A and B are shown apart, each in its own frame.
Chain A
Amino acid sequence: MQHQTLSCCGGVRASSPPPLSFRWSKIKREGGRRLPRCARIAAHLELKPPPYSLSSLEPHMSRETLDYHWGRHHRAHVASLNNLIAGTDLDGMGLDEIVVASYNKGNPLPPFVHAAQVWNHDFFWQSIKPGGGGRPSGRLMELIERDFGSFDRMLEEFERAALTHFGSGWAWLVYTANRLDVGNAVNPCPSEKDNKLVVLKSPNAVNPIVWDYSPLLAIDVWEHAYYLDYENRRADYVSIFLEKLVSWEVVSDRLDVAIERAAERAREDETRRLEDDAEITHSEAVEMYLDSDADDSEAE
């Protein structure tokens, strides 16, 4: 990608985008100088293969699609990500952290699209399996029925999200835990109802971990995900995905982890609240002690 310096021509509209090779967060080491190229830590995130062979999702998702979708698109994001974060603060961080950090609270930095798409595609390949489909059971089914009314209603909503998304993006089933993203703000009446299953959609590379939700299931609705097998027929792709590919076992495992995570954070919040209360009480007591001390000295 090149950016022309058009200083040779007069009257040029300054409409080019900012240069891709911007300088941000390049860490300095060893007394302010960057390490020589050979000694720099090289980012080493790897392209994870799906947990099944590339042909095994046929006829619902062809080998050809996997070859391009996993073998080219996903692979290219891994390479671009490693390239962009090498030698920077993001180098060496876990993928989740890189996604959230580079999302930069809604003002994404250049590595974001690659980090998020690596995360999204890893998640996507694990969400499906040969011989998938069917119905969930256990706690996942209970929560689906609680939050959507029925399994079919949840499927309808998921399909509608996937079909009505304009442009490229993803549709998700997520587990929310009502957390406010402000340091000192606390949910005043936390209850089990704040933790629920929700369907949502996101544009391009955005995913729900940037909103602190726990994703359970994702479907890629970028055209490259279905065009070779279904052409423009996104509706057929989405139905087949739900009927023949989705792995409810994986979704269920993810829900268990999400519930545990929410419980853990609720415990941490409670501990912190008790500690804060104790601190306030303690400091009041000290003040009173000092006042009465002064009184005594005056008396003497």
Chain B
Amino acid sequence: MALRTLFSKKAFTTASGFRPIAAGDRCFLRQARGLTVAALPDLAYDYGALEPAISGEIMRLHHQKHHQAYVTNYNNALEQLETAMAKGDASAVVRLQSAIKFNGGGHINHSIFWKNLKPVNEGGGEPPHSTLGWAIDTDFCSLEALVQKMNAEGAALQGSGWVWLALDKGSKKLSVETTANQDPLVSKGANLVPLLGIDVWEHAYYLQYKNVRPDYLKNIWKVINWKYASEVFDEETA
């Protein structure tokens, strides 16, 4: 999995107005409590390997800047949360929740997203077969209909957010969901497991597709990693 436990000295940035914690405190906390820090996962392919569907420039910025910022800010917020909890500072605990949700959600969502993509010459775009393929036919009539639905909902989403192919762990049914900003899929239902997510924030496509989000959505299917989606589906429905 992409989330590695990482113990390291980090240079704390004061992004989003958070106070940096003194280095001494930070080391003590980490060793005493074994705080697991989120880390930026590596991609399984080069930045340029998804071209022409998604440009190398977008992939680099998306991974190295946007996702990294979520990771950094999430870790900052967790450290501050730990201090606040230790001091019994309930106001600070509550105040930190939106930053944790936003940055933590951003980290979760993007970690899934990188696994949802694959270069064409490594199987990207190859449609799903067997179990997931049949489930799609049952719940959406056809793969084309599913793609159309996800594209329609992705294009219609106002502002920033994600469009998901979701599996309900309880009913074993597939559905298309959208979430706003960096809300993870579970915020739409505790039973929902993400099989595929498509980032429709402007940073995901603007340099290449400008305002034409529908073109981005049409093209991204060429590099979608259905194998990953099938693996998650099989695991959850076993």
Residues of chain A at the chain B interface (Cβ within 8 Å): 1-4, 6, 8-13, 15-17, 20, 68, 72-73, 76, 113, 160, 163-164, 166-169, 203-205, 222-224, 227-228, 231-232
B180: chain A residues at CB < 8 Å are 167
A12 to B202, CA, bound (A): 31
Question: If the complex has contacts A73-B211, A167-B160, A224-B202, are A2 and B148 also in contact, measured as CB distance less than 8 A?
Answer: yes
- Which among B138, B152, B173, B207 has the highest number of chain A CB atoms within 10 Å? B152
Contact present for A4 and B145 (CB under 8 Å): yes
B228: chain A residues at CB < 8 Å are none
Contact code string B139-175 (vs A, CB < 8 Å = 1, else 0)? 1110001001100110110111100000010000111
Pick from B38-46, B61-69, B79-87, B107-115 the stretch touching chain A: B61-69
Minimum distance in angstroms from A171 CB to a CB of chain B: 14
Tell me whether B176 is interfacial, beta carbon within 8 Å: yes
Contact present for A223 and B181 (CB under 8 Å): no
Interface of A is mostly: loop
Q: With CB as the reference atom, state the residue of chain B lying closest to A235.
A: B15
Question: If the complex has contacts A73-B211, A224-B211, are A9 and B141 also in contact, measured as CB distance less than 8 A?
Answer: yes
A9 to B137, CA, bound (A): 8
A227: chain B residues at CB < 8 Å are 202-203, 206-207
Contact code string B199-222 (vs A, CB < 8 Å = 1, else 0)? 001110011001100000000000
The number of A-B residue pairs with CB atoms under 8 Å apart is 94
Contact present for A166 and B102 (CB under 8 Å): yes
B176: chain A residues at CB < 8 Å are 15-16
Contact present for A15 and B175 (CB under 8 Å): yes
Question: If the complex has contacts A73-B211, A169-B159, are A228 and B145 also in contact, measured as CB distance less than 8 A?
Answer: no
A281 to B40, CA, bound (A): 74
B76: chain A residues at CB < 8 Å are none
Q: With CB as the reference atom, state the residue of chain A lying closest to B15.
A: A163
Minimum distance in angstroms from A158 CB to a CB of chain B: 13
Contact present for A203 and B159 (CB under 8 Å): yes
Contact present for B206 and A223 (CB under 8 Å): yes
A20: chain B residues at CB < 8 Å are 156
A113: chain B residues at CB < 8 Å are 158
Contact present for A223 and B139 (CB under 8 Å): no
Tell me whether B31 is interfacial, beta carbon within 8 Å: no
Contact present for B173 and A223 (CB under 8 Å): no
Contact present for A8 and B139 (CB under 8 Å): no
